[in-house]
Structure 1
């Protein structure tokens, strides 16, 4: 039976509350003589009273009332405004209200009409002679504005009934009653109760917007006034009835039948053994009958009738708390208040009680009344008859709730509530400010995963975001102001001084309890990432400008709190560091416009002794300006690495793969290349470092380890291949002896984990929904034994794609006109405003001087920034590598005025095109060209002789700066990977 249900394939679609209650009443026309209207409005305050009534019930859009007393006024108003309801109040003076109503009905047959009559003898006599067939309902005014709310809601419910029941299975309460006086007092009572209840269950929502929407899923109330009407409604909607409240005496076959209610309830009970029934009657003899059909009996003559009715509805129609009872004594054995309570209690409820409730469908009724439709629908189908196994039933209820809550939490930015945040919460925010760039990106991908069921279709892979809580920007504001930090932050103080000042400051006290609630759920290390307003904003990439700290999991929550607070303050401080200020200047942003949200996120990874790291980290880009072999630029590219993603960001050796050709990897295509150009080191979090030496370097507690260490941890299954030195081959998989090579072969070639297919989807939907090329960071935790894993999306941001199209064929430009040419160029577009070249002298170059070279360049770059000018930068090796042997270790702010950056290989210092250096994102968005040239093997052109022959504007031991009188022209075709720098026209090369 359970296999038939295949619980794990149960796909709960979220209820689209937006599509419910779409037909509304916004404008009501009130036709009444001035005196009656005044009486009704009770000194003219009807709008205000309705408004207050609506607000107290969290209803939106209270309707507007327009009052007219003459036929002329009525036509004028109907001509100007669209009315959804007309209420007529006939006066005692035999006024022409009915005539006006009749004419309105003729001209506007679609507008519902309602009669509202003051309760008096004269009017009742008068009405007996009127034809009331044109009116939807007749009500009796007892001086209570609640009645107006009920009239409006009753009509709205009627208009939306069929659609909403079909759409999601909204429930209805059927009221059968023909006495005007009576239903005029019962309806307000019922509505008030149902609306209050739905306010209660709206707390299942995760934020304010969702709360108001959930109210639309409340049960509808439908009024029937004859036996035929009641039976008709029952037959049509019997699967969606929460309960029935019926009178005993009402018309059947056109005549009043004192037994009509009894007949009706007998029919219902014979078909539906468990629908809750309530019989109201003024004749006490009906009490006995009520017992026979298991209905509650309410005496219409009782003074406390309305209270009794409320109580009966509350108890039997599934409202309020769910009370588990002992079936014999009816005593309470357990009580659950919401879904989370039910999930926690389901395994401890006594068997006889559980059996009693599930066999009577109580659980699904309770869920229906709370508008939790997917679970209610599902559980309603699993009857006791079909299953007959109590433990299986508990398990099914539990899993259905878990599945539903996971689905609910996904893609929604919930407001963080200590008592509600648990294992199934995905994404919550503390504070009301902005989520910042990364925060928005995360919320966006979480929502994207939820909307595309394709992400659910992998047998052995789950795709999600890590548990995330965002401290919004208003917390940053509060922190800065209460601690009076702006003065030092905006001063010229050095980074260390700024950090110390921030560490001494105090975070808002209110956060402590929230953090403890977060710790209770996340039993893993936490990453504290910056998410500033400007970071990852669509056209201004701030990748890597601010700090990201990681802190280990500790049993002692106060120690953990100390480290977390320090890390948050460290991220806040990094907004005001020297590099950030330089960057702000380079991008013409004003530093005090920058506000910082902070993301607290579970670190993806596995614990190995005192180290913690994921099986795979990666960065995927949906456009590839380095296509090789059969790859297409639009198929994108991915950089993969073992361990924490900082390794990729720092420009370490990663494996570059195209998700559409996962079996063709350039780096592993030849053995020598594989041994030389695959990852040898990786980053892991040091779980022993408790952050007492908290420092400016956000990697102070990361370990840079060699692949051998990972082999010892046993974390290389399916990720590594083994080099066999005897046979000189590399074998996919792990074998004793032999060096381990990080090739991800079992995943890419043998599909142990569907990484390539997931990446294709992520790129496709990411780019499709952002409407521009994107860059996505991710990490994967593999369970090698089970051959399954979880793919975590960590971040998405736009790659700013420059649309400048080049018509010209760059291949045809004669060599003598070129200063530089690269057949491996990154970038797109044309620049013609650069007159300067800074290059590293190749004569006597040694990689051991790379750090000194970086200082020289930084000084010159600052001068260019101050003057708002740009230059071409040429040098050996990888720019921006954190390993000084691989290249010159500049950070982006040190070269941010360069508009073309060239990696020029030397015979003894060959470089491959950099992939994954930290400023790729900056290069693409500023439209910077990135050329790779290896002239010693005929790959590209670099006319250094020409530059050496020109006078230097400035020269140091390692670099020269040369200025041209007229601008150079840079042309780049990113799809063809061609880039050139053309010399100015020959006559203008008299240089300074």
Structure 2
């Protein structure tokens, strides 16, 4: 029977590691003190500069060290006084330049600069060193002309400089090398480092783009060199939790001061200069003590004394023979097998035969349930998986799995599940906020955002990548159980494919001509996309398994200062079992998006915004469509647009609290100007449209859009909505998709009840998600608006879609973010600073935002002494007649009248309907001394005011609230005058300005 996985291992959170913060302390300037011959060997023959430069470039580090070479102590001191030197390397020279003397002088004047002696091993030097105090130098190395040793020295010292910080920051691993023979560690270190750097190159492929790959390499294991037992134990105790493995010599001193004659010691074998007397079994003692404390850490004993092989194996340690010609290969093999380097090889525990090999994290995830039980048990009980992940710098998963030991959970299948879940969470976490390079071997259901090509992502692509990054950096998005927030899985075809497509198919001539949209589209549909994309598209189909939206993402679109939204086409294609048919539709849709750059409207828009069409480059976004399939149609529970500024606040709403428009079905319905539900996320209980039954039945959504899943054979059309169904809300009711977003109208009791009931019209009220807390939509929208506006440093508009589940869980997808830069809304002027005598109208209680400078006409109701509300129906008829003339000529006007415009009770105001005043640009409620009505804030026309950006002023001059210079209008000749209404025209346009943030509005007289 399977063991139940403890809750702590089910509900875990992996914290991401930032590799950019690792290896921050570097060695930039190296001073080499050497005689001219050795210097020549280093500089010309060994090409040390070149080798170091190549190595650093490969690591993604921008500043490789530079080398300064001098020959004498005086020259060295001069350089030390004039340059910031990070490392001094002294090479023994001739009689007047002794390496030890130079090094001693350097240490005396600059004790903090690391100083290394590089010495060839002649008999004379060996003898000399036995009488030399080596403790003042950081390291002494044996120089045999191998420039790789210089690299190893730099790496060893950099590792020492960064180790404490990098372990704290990320859990970087440590390989402890215990060796007192200078000659031996001088040859083993270059080999060790070259293998570690090779490993870092291999594991960097886990990264999702070249930049991240270069940074991942900084997470490679560090090497620490200990030269006696006490030093080794001190290092082990300090870094015990991060030791990847220990490689130890068999014989070395126990105490720190070399040369002590300790019990049981014997002299070092010839050639093992440095380190004084060694204790024969010091290595075994050390490994025994470490094994006592850690049953899993790999321990390797190296020795030139062959009888140590049996002793090591008897205690379960690995052994490397120093006398072997292939010693380096043997050591690499053991590191690969036991320290997690290279591929993970699952073995049969009895025969030790390979049963499976995995090269990447994704391969481990894909195969974890296929590995035989006995092999799985063998590796799990020795913590091999955790160690392999450690060696690959996958620290969050490794650290988590390290604590899920066989002692705590003796169930192979439970271990499989835990490992799988941890990898999935890690890959999700790493995918979020990163623009990966699309790789067919890595992109799957957990792939998130990738690009194909080297060009730009375009405006929408950048916006999506930015949104993804915001979600990653703000964990508060996912603070509600059962409510996830993300972007849909996305692949961007970069702009370089657009250039290649246009050039190879010779399309510019037809594209830039005056041909019709359909003609241009037909040319584009006949052109060819590169064949190299086919396999990538198939991989994407398999990963998303849903319909795909093909969106434009041009360079100019959604750019910070140009409102290009909605200019180009967006197509949706259904998900089909026939992948080749799906490929045909996808290719056609991409070409259709490319063609839309050159459609008539696009060219006109380019001209209007002073852009040159040749500068436009198009990336294409391929994105899973959010939603569910209901029979032959597909749509999300609801879509919406969120704006962080609300220019029509009502009641206690504030402009900066933002506003959202919600609609059942696809978001194209909102873009096309359909009837939506308008709500401030900060005031979800205050929805004007559902506040009264009559309004709710009149002003809520009656139709919605869905993707037609069976419209496959139809050829692509210039109209990107050719396969979008326009359906009645009752169709969604049949689909059962209205849970939590609809109320039911009961015609018998004449009431609207929250929820879905048999019979009765369904009203899209969003009652469950707004008022009943079924899903935390208001809170999530508040978070999106706050984080989006803060990160963009300006007001933003965010598109989103949501799938609700019957168990009240849901997934909110953010689809796009763009700055609000509607040109007419770029209002910089302080309206309060405009003098009263320049104003025809001034309101301190206005709705709307922006500037309008093309209105010359004012239509106003005559409110003389004999005004009575009893005439309001007649006034409404006069206003309707005047409005019709404005509609015929396409002009706008300012409308002023007493009481509430549009009130059904004519005693409260003039009972017009929206079509009767639809040409008005500003509507003014002007209260009278003897006819006072509470301001309505335009509630009767609210949907139309917000949709068409019409201003609504409330003015009560009798108590000093605002200005209405009726005297100016009365003194002007009338263009038209009835019993109740006057229409006048100014020679110069009026300047209408509205500040939606402060609810100030003015109509300024333009003086000649």
Q: If the TM-score is normalised by the length of the shorter chain, which range does it land in?
A: 0.7 to 0.9
List runs of 5+ in structure 2 lacking aligned partners. 261-276, 860-875, 903-912, 926-938, 977-982
SS of the aligned residue for 2:817 comes to strand
* Structure 1 residue 632: Cα displacement: 1.1
Q: Which residue of 1 aligns with 2:810?
A: 789
Deviation string, structure 1 residues 744-767 (Cα, Å, up to 9, x no partner): 101111111111111111111111
TM-score normalized with structure 1 length: 0.88
SS of the aligned residue for 2:665 comes to coil
* Aligned residue among 394, 401, 404 for 1:372: 394
* Structure 1 residue 19: Cα displacement: 1.4
Q: Which residue of 2 aligns with 1:396?
A: 418
Matches within 5 A, 1:351-390: 351-390=373-412
Q: Which moved more, 1:48-57 or 1:60-69?
A: 48-57
- Evaluate the alpha carbon distance shift between residue 838 and residue 6 of structure 1 in structure 2; reply closer, same or farther with a 3 A threshold: farther
- Evaluate the alpha carbon distance shift between residue 947 and residue 6 of structure 1 in structure 2; reply closer, same or farther with a 3 A threshold: farther
Deviation string, structure 1 residues 167-206 (Cα, Å, up to 9, x no partner): 2211111111111111111011011011101110111100
Could you tell me whether the CA contact under 8 Å between 1:753 and 1:787 is conserved in 2?
yes
* Structure 1 residue 13: Cα displacement: 1.2
Deviation string, structure 1 residues 50-91 (Cα, Å, up to 9, x no partner): 223445666653211111112332233223321211100011
Could you tell me whether the CA contact under 8 Å between 1:947 and 1:962 is conserved in 2?
no
Q: Which residue of 1 aligns with 2:692?
A: 670
Q: Which residue of 2 aligns with 1:808?
A: 832
**RMSD, aligned CA:** 3.5
Could you tell me whether the CA contact under 8 Å between 1:563 and 1:691 is conserved in 2?
no
Could you tell me whether the CA contact under 8 Å between 1:92 and 1:123 is conserved in 2?
no
SS of the aligned residue for 2:133 comes to coil
- Evaluate the alpha carbon distance shift between residue 974 and residue 226 of structure 1 in structure 2; reply closer, same or farther with a 3 A threshold: same
Q: Which residue of 2 aligns with 1:894?
A: none
Cα distance in 2 for partners of 1:374, 1:623 equals: 40
Is 2:708 aligned against 1:681?
no
Could you tell me whether the CA contact under 8 Å between 1:821 and 1:981 is conserved in 2?
no
Could you tell me whether the CA contact under 8 Å between 2:656 and 2:997 is conserved in 1?
no
Cα distance in 2 for partners of 1:552, 1:942 equals: 60
Cα distance in 2 for partners of 1:326, 1:27 equals: 51
* Aligned residue among 498, 509, 515 for 1:476: 498
Q: Which moved more, 1:100-109 or 1:210-219?
A: 100-109
Q: Which residue of 1 aligns with 2:647?
A: 625
In our comparison, the structure showing a higher alpha carbon Rg is 2
Q: Which residue of 2 aligns with 1:27?
A: 29
* Aligned residue among 937, 942, 945 for 1:912: 942
Q: Which residue of 1 aligns with 2:951?
A: 931
- Evaluate the alpha carbon distance shift between residue 487 and residue 903 of structure 1 in structure 2; reply closer, same or farther with a 3 A threshold: farther
SS of the aligned residue for 1:968 comes to strand
SS of the aligned residue for 1:723 comes to strand
SS of the aligned residue for 1:76 comes to helix
Cα distance in 2 for partners of 1:827, 1:766 equals: 21
* Aligned residue among 246, 249, 253 for 2:248: 246
Deviation string, structure 1 residues 565-613 (Cα, Å, up to 9, x no partner): 1111111111112211222222212211111111111000111101111
Q: Which residue of 1 aligns with 2:271?
A: none
* Structure 1 residue 825: Cα displacement: 3.7
Is 2:677 aligned against 1:655?
yes
Cα distance in 1 for partners of 2:683, 2:894 equals: 34
Is 2:623 aligned against 1:591?
no
Q: Which moved more, 1:637-646 or 1:296-305?
A: 296-305
SS of the aligned residue for 1:718 comes to coil
Could you tell me whether the CA contact under 8 Å between 2:831 and 2:1002 is conserved in 1?
no
Cα distance in 2 for partners of 1:416, 1:948 equals: 69
Matches within 5 A, 1:933-952: none
Cα distance in 2 for partners of 1:320, 1:87 equals: 33
* Structure 1 residue 823: Cα displacement: 5.9
- Evaluate the alpha carbon distance shift between residue 948 and residue 435 of structure 1 in structure 2; reply closer, same or farther with a 3 A threshold: farther
Cα distance in 2 for partners of 1:452, 1:214 equals: 23
Deviation string, structure 1 residues 672-725 (Cα, Å, up to 9, x no partner): 000000000111111111152311111111011111111111111111000001
Could you tell me whether the CA contact under 8 Å between 1:933 and 1:940 is conserved in 2?
no
Could you tell me whether the CA contact under 8 Å between 2:953 and 2:1001 is conserved in 1?
no
* Aligned residue among 285, 291, 306 for 2:313: 291
Cα distance in 2 for partners of 1:580, 1:946 equals: 46
* Aligned residue among 821, 827, 834 for 2:849: 827
Is 2:517 aligned against 1:495?
yes
* Structure 1 residue 329: Cα displacement: 1.4
Is 2:179 aligned against 1:157?
no
Cα distance in 1 for partners of 2:559, 2:184 equals: 61
* Aligned residue among 111, 125, 128 for 1:126: 128
Could you tell me whether the CA contact under 8 Å between 2:642 and 2:785 is conserved in 1?
yes
SS of the aligned residue for 2:780 comes to helix
- Evaluate the alpha carbon distance shift between residue 431 and residue 120 of structure 1 in structure 2; reply closer, same or farther with a 3 A threshold: same
* Structure 1 residue 9: Cα displacement: 3.1
* Structure 1 residue 948: Cα displacement: 11
* Structure 1 residue 670: Cα displacement: 0.5
Cα distance in 2 for partners of 1:951, 1:807 equals: 30
- Evaluate the alpha carbon distance shift between residue 292 and residue 549 of structure 1 in structure 2; reply closer, same or farther with a 3 A threshold: same
- Evaluate the alpha carbon distance shift between residue 324 and residue 60 of structure 1 in structure 2; reply closer, same or farther with a 3 A threshold: farther
* Structure 1 residue 872: Cα displacement: 7.7
SS of the aligned residue for 2:407 comes to helix
- Evaluate the alpha carbon distance shift between residue 750 and residue 6 of structure 1 in structure 2; reply closer, same or farther with a 3 A threshold: farther
* Structure 1 residue 836: Cα displacement: 5.9
Could you tell me whether the CA contact under 8 Å between 2:560 and 2:819 is conserved in 1?
yes
Cα distance in 2 for partners of 1:430, 1:873 equals: 53
Could you tell me whether the CA contact under 8 Å between 2:945 and 2:951 is conserved in 1?
no
Could you tell me whether the CA contact under 8 Å between 1:639 and 1:916 is conserved in 2?
no
Cα distance in 2 for partners of 1:983, 1:501 equals: 53
* Aligned residue among 205, 219, 222 for 1:220: 222
Could you tell me whether the CA contact under 8 Å between 1:910 and 1:934 is conserved in 2?
no
Could you tell me whether the CA contact under 8 Å between 1:50 and 1:145 is conserved in 2?
no
Cα distance in 1 for partners of 2:198, 2:945 equals: 59
- Evaluate the alpha carbon distance shift between residue 946 and residue 196 of structure 1 in structure 2; reply closer, same or farther with a 3 A threshold: farther
SS of the aligned residue for 1:607 comes to strand
Q: Which residue of 1 aligns with 2:870?
A: none
Matches within 5 A, 1:779-928: 779-784=801-806, 786-800=807-821, 802=826, 804-808=828-832, 817-818=840-841, 824-828=846-850, 901=921, 911-914=941-944, 917=947
List runs of 5+ in structure 1 lacking aligned partners. 861-870, 879-884, 891-897, 921-928, 953-960
Q: Which residue of 2 aligns with 1:319?
A: 341
Q: Which residue of 1 aligns with 2:734?
A: 712
Could you tell me whether the CA contact under 8 Å between 1:553 and 1:560 is conserved in 2?
yes
Cα distance in 1 for partners of 2:784, 2:655 equals: 16
Is 2:795 aligned against 1:765?
no
Matches within 5 A, 1:439-454: 439-454=461-476
SS of the aligned residue for 2:719 comes to coil
SS of the aligned residue for 1:644 comes to coil
* Structure 1 residue 914: Cα displacement: 3.4
SS of the aligned residue for 1:695 comes to coil
- Evaluate the alpha carbon distance shift between residue 570 and residue 17 of structure 1 in structure 2; reply closer, same or farther with a 3 A threshold: same
Cα distance in 2 for partners of 1:812, 1:963 equals: 21
* Structure 1 residue 548: Cα displacement: 0.8
Cα distance in 1 for partners of 2:241, 2:504 equals: 58
Matches within 5 A, 1:528-567: 528-567=550-589
Q: Which residue of 1 aligns with 2:434?
A: 412
SS of the aligned residue for 1:470 comes to strand
- Evaluate the alpha carbon distance shift between residue 404 and residue 721 of structure 1 in structure 2; reply closer, same or farther with a 3 A threshold: same
* Structure 1 residue 278: Cα displacement: 1.3
SS of the aligned residue for 1:808 comes to helix
Could you tell me whether the CA contact under 8 Å between 1:430 and 1:471 is conserved in 2?
yes
* Aligned residue among 145, 148, 151 for 2:150: 148
Q: Which residue of 2 aligns with 1:77?
A: 79
- Evaluate the alpha carbon distance shift between residue 947 and residue 751 of structure 1 in structure 2; reply closer, same or farther with a 3 A threshold: farther
Could you tell me whether the CA contact under 8 Å between 1:847 and 1:887 is conserved in 2?
no
Could you tell me whether the CA contact under 8 Å between 2:346 and 2:375 is conserved in 1?
yes
Deviation string, structure 1 residues 91-118 (Cα, Å, up to 9, x no partner): 1436243333222222222110001112
* Aligned residue among 52, 61, 64 for 2:63: 61
